[in-house]
Structures are given as C-alpha cells and as structure tokens.
A and B are shown apart, each in its own frame.
Chain A
Amino acid sequence: MIFIGLIITLLGFALSVASLGMASSVNARLVMVVAGIAVSLFGIMGILNPAYLKNAIWRK
C-alpha cells in the first residue's frame, strides 16, 4: 500500500504538470491543477498514512 500511495501522490503532480500541455485556458489549467493537488493529498492522507497506521506502535 505504501508503494501505491506514493504512486498516486506522484500522479497528482503529473496531472498538474500535464495541465501545461493539455490545456491552454487559465480556467482549464486551474481545474486540472486543483484536481492534481486533491489526488496527491488523497495519496498521502488516504493511502500512505493509513498504511502506516495499520501497524502503528500504539496498536501493539
């Protein structure tokens, strides 16, 4: 899950960078970049962190 979390976080960044080539209007770029940020945050908080919490020291 850690690996998947990292990949998804990176995908968010890739989406933001892709906005530079795939869109030319400011609004379209804005939407893509915000979506990219949301994907990255999901990767960190939704996948990566829960993967660590599953084996957290306080659960043992």
Chain B
Amino acid sequence: MKKPITLAFLAMALVAAGLAQAPPAAAPPGGAPPAAAAAPVAVPITDADLKGIEAPKPELRLKGDPDGALTGTVADVAVADPITDKTPKAKGLTIADVVNQIGQNKIGINFTWTLMCGFLVMFMQAGFAIVETGLCRAKNANHTMMMNFAVYSVGLLAYWLIGFSIQMGGVGGVANLGGAPTLNSEYAITLFGKSMGLFGQNGFFLTHSGTYDVGVMVVFLFQMVFMDTALTIVTGSCAERWKLVAFVVSSFMLGAFIYPLFGNWAWGGGWLATLGTNFGLGKGYCDFAGSGVVHSVGGLSALAIAMMIGPRLGKYTRQGKSNPIVGHDIVIVLLGCLILAFGWFGFNPGSTLGASGNGNLRISSVAVNTMLAGMAGFFSSMLYMWMRYGKPDASMSGNGLLAGLVAITAPSGFVNPVASVIIGLIGGLLVCLSVEFVDRVLKVDDPVGAISVHGANGLWGVIAVGLFADGKSNYGGSWNGVSGSVTGLFYGDASQLVAQLIGVSTLIGFVFVLVFVVNLGIDALVGQRSSAKSELEGLDLPEIGQLGYPEFELKAKA
C-alpha cells in the first residue's frame, strides 16, 4: 500500500507547488510598496553620432581576425546612398540605414529560427518512420517505410496545391516574420450574429494573389511540416494491412482539405480562434503548437481508418481475445523516439515563429516545458507498466515519452514547469490506459499505439491549456486578438476551458466524421484493405515489389 500513497503524495505536492504560483503577488514579502519601475529613457540619435564610427582599416582585415573583433561592424550595414570616389557628396551611413538594418536583423533572426525549427520538425519524419517500422513485423518493413516516405511527398504537394491557402490564406500574416499582408482573404459565415471564419482563399500554388513572398514562404514551410506530421500518424495505426493506393488518396485528402480546415479554424483566424473576440471565451481556442491541430487530427484520423479497415489477421481470436503481435526491432523504435524528442524542440519552441520581439524570448521556457513533460511521460508510463506487469515495457515507455510530448504541445507556451511535469505524468499514464482500452474494449487494432499517443493525448493537451495556463506568457500583449495572457481554470478563467472543450468537441464530432466519410468514399472507389493473401505474405512484395530485408529468410517458429 505504501507505493500508491507515496505516488499520491508526490502528485499532490506537485499540484500544490504548481498552483501556489497561481495568484499574482499583490505586494512583495514584508509589505513594502513595490518600487516604481524606471521609466525608459529615450536617447536621441543624430547623424552626428554616426560620424565617428568607422569600418576597420582594410590592412588590418588582411591580417585575419582570430578573435572576431573586426568582423560584423559598421562596414556590414547596408547603406542606401554610399560615399564612393565617384559619389563623394553622397549621404553615407544614416539613421535610416541603421534602423532598417535593425528591422532586418530582427526579421532575419525570426526567419532563421522558424526555418531551423521547421527543418527539425521535418527530421521527425525519420523518427516516425523507424518507430512505426520497428513496431511492425519484418515482412512489412519496406511497406511501412515507403508509406512514411511517400507521405512527405503526397502531403507536401497536396498542401502546396490547396491546403496552405485553405489553412492560412485568410489571416496567415505573422508580425514576427515581417507580416504577410497578402494572406488576407477568409471566407466567413454569420452565425449567432457573429462572423465566423471557415477557410482561407489566398495562396494557391504559393503564387496566387501576391503570395510569392519571402514571409509567406517561411509560414508555408513551417506549417507544411506540421501538416505532414499529422499525416504520418495515420500510417502507423493502419500499418500491415493498408493498401498503398488507398493510403495515397487518403493522405492527399487529409493534407489538402481536412487538416487545413481545422488548421484554419485554430490558427488561420477561423471561428475557433475567434471564440474569445466573438463570445468572450478566454483568448479563443488556444493550441500553441498543435496537440489538437496536429496530433488529435492525426490520431482521430487514425482511429477512423483503423476502425474501418479492421484488425490484422491473427490479432484477435474468434472469441475476440487480443493477441499481442510483437514488432521486429525495438532498438530502432527507441532510437526513433529519441529522434522525435529531438525534433520536438523544433515543434514547440519553433511555434513562437520567432526568437526576437513580441515575448519570443519565452522560447527557453517552451523548450524546458517540452523536455520536462516528455521525460515525465516516459517516467510515469515506465512506472505504470513496471507495477502492473512486473517489467518496464520498452515500447510502451517510448510511447509514454511521446505521449508526454504530445500532451505538452498545446500548453507548452502557456504553462509553468510544474504544470508541464503534471501534464506529462498524466499523459504517460493516459497512453497506457488508452492503449489497453483501444485494444481490449474497442478491439481496434493499432500496431503502434498512435491513436492513444496522438489522439487521446492530443485531446488531453488541448484540455490542459484550459486548466493550467498560468497567465504569465505575453506574446505581444494579446492572443487571438484578445488582450492579456492565456489563463486557465486553475488560474481564474473558466471560460478558457470552455473554448478548449469546444475545440475538443470539434475534433471528435466534426473532424472524425469528415475523415470517416471521405475514407468511406475511398473504400468504395479503390478499397482500403489489402488482400488476405498479401497480408499473410507480408506487404513488401505484393505492394512494393521489394523486401525490406532480402538477405534474411523469415522462418516461422517451430
């Protein structure tokens, strides 16, 4: 009995510590009046101030610059009207040049940050690919890898053609990235007397309506890799029996229409984002990096399609008892989990879409929250499996890590470290319970546990924002057009929780149905499930024409 009591005490202590930070301090300890904040002093700069600034002498530069003191000086500031031998009366360096350079530096920093984070998220494709492949049987290795590879191409093209404009074509301009005023056409309807955005209309092919623009390109790249993450979640749940042609069509539809639609509602100025301005519900639906937009959409799509195509042959007995089907390479599974954890540093901190200005220094807090929740998820799932089954299940521990990361994705920008640990601990437990529920009660076959990792924990992450957001974040003074910081139920704003739950309801009640209907159509047109003969043989040869491991002879156990 001691262990549960100790764990309960630990959990209570964590909650208490987290909530202790809830009320803002009215006065400092001791009752002393708060010191008046020093007023910023404006220092006027004139052209005369720039007179004494000189570039390093060329002969000095010819000796090299081992300590870096001569590199990156006034000589590197772009001058609009430079003084040369032919233009001795030109203005030379002016205040305007300096200010322009500062502005470009800020945007340059934000471009670099967002693009680098996007590249990290792209690398998560590798993590997903080997996690899913390792959890499948060797006879399907090539098929599973191929799906993960193909989804990058299919998703990208679908998103470039149609998806991006639907998602971001309405209100996709981001001040951190210099704004993108051409993403400004949102189709909206009027409901309950309020304008509710449904989808964007600018940005088709990244050329339509002036969207051939450097800022738009950054937004596109970052949003595209997020979309692809959602698509690749489905391939895991449907692995080992999904027909390749059905997968291609389904992924295209998800990347072109379904994901972007919810993405617009949450991130593109759609009706969920405006729940705050229209109906006074907190700051509207808040999903910092996509627990709902990316992971729940992926996880619920996985549930819909896995339910439709049915379990793998041999997964359940005639009495409906679940048989475990073990993956072929736990080593690459855990390596994949670590790659995903690394990529998550692009996913969450990158979602500030900048590192300079507008409260973006909070990237450090977002990164630490991400790390804490992921490890807390790993710890609680490992502990749960150890206590329940006597061994710390490696693949489930890996899923616990991912569950913690998925759960913190939405709240990562709005919560403190203690809340992150609580969210991660719950996420790790939730994934274990959900995997058992999906497998034994729903009898939906999910070879990699993606429905639980991404679906269940994505929804938990969305709800967690409404509970744990501490009102301390400040990204330019407002969120979704409502001034102030995102604040959850435990910190005094119950309406934020309502906004989050409306998001959850939209995911379960609308996105799930849309995915289901679209895939019913695909099932009728091309069929979703591979033949029993192909499945028994392994999908590598029948579907791809090449074995994943040709040098190995696969033998049945005696």
Contact = CB atoms under 8 A, between A and B. Distances in A.
B191 A21 contact: yes
Interface in B116-162: none
B14 interface: no
Given A29-B498, A58-B315, A49 B307 contact: yes
A29 B512 CA distance: 22
B313 A57 contact: yes
Given A58-B315, A58-B317, A52 B308 contact: yes
A6 B444 CA distance: 17
A52 B310 contact: yes
Interface in A43-59: 43-45, 48-49, 52-53, 56-59
Interface string B305-322: 001101101011110100
Interface string A16-46: 1101110000110110011011011101110
Nearest to B504: A37
A18 B224 CA distance: 32
Contact of A49 (B279, B442, B517): B442
A33 B509 contact: no
A54 to B, nearest CB: 11
Q: Is the interface of B mostly helix, strand, loop or mixed?
A: helix
B501 interface: yes
Interface residues of A, number: 36
Contact of A33 (B307, B443, B502, B520): B502
B442 A45 contact: yes
Contact of A37 (B316, B320, B505): B505
Nearest to A35: B505
A52 B311 contact: no
A30 B498 contact: yes
Contacts of B192: 20-21
A19 B310 CA distance: 35
A56 B445 CA distance: 11
Nearest to A7: B513
Contacts of B513: 6, 9-10, 13
- In the A-B complex, the 4 residue pairs with the smallest Cβ-Cβ separation, listed nearest first, are A13-B509, A21-B192, A16-B505, A40-B509
Interface of A: 2, 6, 9-17, 19-21, 26-27, 29-30, 33-34, 36-37, 39-41, 43-45, 48-49, 52-53, 56-59
Given A6-B513, A10-B510, 20 more contacts: A9-B508, A11-B509, A12-B509, A13-B506, A13-B509, A16-B501, A16-B509, A30-B501, A33-B502, A37-B509, A39-B509, A40-B505, A40-B509, A44-B508, A52-B307, A56-B320, A57-B313, A58-B311, A58-B315, A58-B317
